Amino acid sequence: MGKHVLLIEDEPNIIEAIRFILSRDGWQVDTHSDGMTAFDRVGALRPDIVILDVMLPGRSGFDILRDIRADPELCALPVLMLTAKGQVKDREMAERMGVSRFMAKPFSNTEVLSSVRELTGG
């Protein structure tokens, strides 16, 4: 099982925190912060899991999740979605669209790490 994560997030402090906790656990962490080109990046990198923020410049995480789930080659990819708002309707929408797990900010490092491990069977 590979240990390659693509983190699609535009907040530098969150990028650094997640990169730190995951690379310390042996993950290769690629990051991307532009919603417009995020889906192309997923297809190019073929990570083992995507961590996806809801609020991104250009396109929302929901749009990107929809594209991933509609793509025959990527549809089974685990997606962990992050939201700052933690609103119920966001969670419901994400679940309807096939998100693997939903996590509200602020989250703990342990929470992120255990979710990534569970979702990838690692």
Please name each of the domains of the chain with its CATH number. 4-119 (3.40.50.2300)
The three state secondary structure string of 52-93 is EECCCCCCCHHHHHHHHHHCCCCCCCCEEEEECCCCHHHHHH
Sign of the torsion formed by the C-alpha atoms of 111, 8, 47 and 17: negative
Q: Residue 1 above 60 pLDDT?
A: no
Three-state DSSP class for residue 120: coil
Q: Residue 118 above 60 pLDDT?
A: yes
Reported as a single tens digit per residue, the pLDDT across 36-95 is: 999 999 999 999 999 999 999 999 999 999 999 999 999 999 999 998 765 788 888 999
Reported as a single tens digit per residue, the pLDDT across 88-116 is: 888 889 999 999 999 988 889 999 999 99
Distance CA 44, CA 34 (A): 15
Give yes or no for a cis peptide into 106 (omega within 30° of 0).
Answer: yes
pTM of the model: 0.95
pLDDT of res. 87: 73
Three-state DSSP class for residue 33: coil
Distance CA 71, CA 58 (A): 20
